[in-house]
Structure formats: structure tokens, C-alpha cells
Amino acid sequence: MDRLNARLGYLTALPITALLLLSFVAPLVVVAAFSIMPQKVFSLAHLPDFSAYGEILRQGYWRSLIWSLGMAIAATAILFVISWPLAFAMAKVYRRFTLVLTVGVVMTLFVSENIRLFGWVLTLMKGGLIEGYLRSWGFAGFDGLLYNVPVIVFGLVYVYFPFMLFPLAQGIAMVPDDAREAAVDLGASRWQLLREVELPLAAPGIVIGCLLCFVLSAGAIAESKLLGGQAVIVMGDEVETAFTYGQNWPLGAALAMVLIAIIGAVALFSVSRVDLDAMFGGRK
């Protein structure tokens, strides 16, 4: 019976496995193959050639990588801090109004990311909405808030807020009320309750939310282009430039593979540290 169930499971998983191989694994293999081709020579006969990876070090592309990862870490940390109270309220306090909050947050995703960012450009730019309000109150000399690193991080936080909020709310919902009440009855302070009960038990939601925001932020381009101008060049922008303006596909593929390898390592390590079966109801 167990063997029959196992075979049925394998057969049931075949369609999604084939879909993942075609839509996810195959493009990665193509990008990896391009990354070890000589520049301006697209021929399998010249494989392998790792000159594109050497150029990443020689040309200083590692700076863009550090900027991308650094801003992604900063945005993820800020998102966790500001999302935790609202996620806690959604899971434990506003039980009847959680749907209203959810719809309100999700509705922001119905508008294109670029359009929302352009709205902030009009708000923060010199001569924009903020400067107009300041002038109406008698303040002058406002130079705008655009084209710097903090405003890029703000854009990342603004765009990816829902991707932190909902996994956190799901993780906090996993924390039994009995466990919290028992800890309080035993004399636990609010800080001890958070550190020793809520954070460990909500770990799956925390990891998923942080992982989603980190991955999306590390590969983001629009925020740095629209809000940051040329303040910093992120890794995604370098990849786009190599593939389009530079017409250097091996370099673009190598840059992409470096970013994918780092993000993939972080993702695998993070997922291996939590019990996802418990979060999705696979284990009681």
C-alpha cells in the first residue's frame, strides 16, 4: 500500500515537476551556459571560458553587488520592524477586521510599481508636492529628497511591504494563545515573551517574509533608477546594461549567475532552518 501511494505521489508530481524544469531550471541552465562563453562569440565550441567572471572582479562590479545586498538587508530589517506590530494586530487583535486590512494592503498591488514610484518622484522632487506645501507655510530653499541611498531604501520598503506583512501575520497566527498566557502567568516580561515565545514560534513566517523581501530587493531596478538616479548602480542595473546597451551577454549572464548563487545560498540556508510543514499545515 505504501509503495502504491508513493508511485501515485510521483505520478501526481510529474506535471508540476516538468513545468518547473521547463520554466525555471532550463532558463538557469541557458544563463549559466552563456556565462562561460567568450565575449562576442556565441558558440558552444568555445566552452568553457570564464573570462566574464574575471571581468567582474577587474571592472569593480562587486561594488554594485555590495550596494544591492546592503540595501536589501537594510530594507528587510526596516520592513520587519515596521510590519511586526501590524502583523501582530492582524493575527491577534483585529480578528474581525483583518479582511479589511488585507484588502487595503492588497489593493496597492493593483497599481503598477512604476506608477507608484513615479508618484513618489512627483512628491519628493524639487518643485514637487512637498516643496509646494513647505512654500505655502513660508519655508524656502527645499532641494528635494531624491537621488540618494536612503530614498532608494524607502522605495524598497514601500514597494515590498505586503511581502513582509502577510507571511509575518501567518507566522504570528501559529503562536498559540495558551503559550503566551502561560508565559505571562510564569512571570515573563514583555521582552521575554517576545524573545522566547513569539519569535521562535513565528519563525517560519519571519523567515519566509524576510526571504521574500531580501530576494526581491536584491534584484530590484526600478527603485534605484527612479528614486536614486545615478546615486548608486545596483546589480540588476548592471545586468540590464550588459545585456542591452553593452551587448555583452556573457558578462550579463555571469553577473546574473553571481547574484543568483548568493541569493540561492541565502534562501536554501534560511529555509533549512525552519519547519515549513508546520506553517502550511502538513504537521500537527
Whether 40 is covered by a domain: the verdict is no
Whether 198 is covered by a domain: the verdict is yes
Whether 22 is covered by a domain: the verdict is no
Domain count, the chain: 1
pTM: 0.87
- The string of DSSP letters for the chain reads -HHHHHHHHHHHHHHHHHHHIIIIIHHHHHHHHHHTSPTT---GGG----HHHHHHHHTTTHHHHHHHHHHHHHHHHHHHHHHHHHHHIIIII-GGGHHHHHHHHHGGGGS-HHHHHHHHHHHHSTTSHHHHHHHHTT------S-SSHHHHHHHHHHHSHHHHHHHHHHHHHTS-HHHHHHHHHTT--HHHHIIIIIHHHTHHHHHHHHHHHHHHHHT--HHHHHTTTTS---HHHHHHHHHTTS--HHHHHHHHHHHHHHHHHHHHHHHTTS-HHHHTTS--
Mean pLDDT of the region 49-72: 90
Whether 5 is covered by a domain: the verdict is no
**pLDDT tens-digit series, residues 10-56:** 788 788 888 888 888 889 998 998 888 887 666 666 678 888 898 88
Q: In terms of residue numbers, what domain contains 114? A: 56-279
Whether 172 is covered by a domain: the verdict is yes
CATH number at residue 239: 1.10.3720.10
At 284, is the pLDDT very low, low, confident or very high (cuts 50, 70, 90)?
A: very low
Whether 4 is covered by a domain: the verdict is no
Whether 156 is covered by a domain: the verdict is yes
Whether 145 is covered by a domain: the verdict is yes
Mean pLDDT of the chain: 86
**pLDDT tens-digit series, residues 232-255:** 999 999 999 999 888 888 999 999
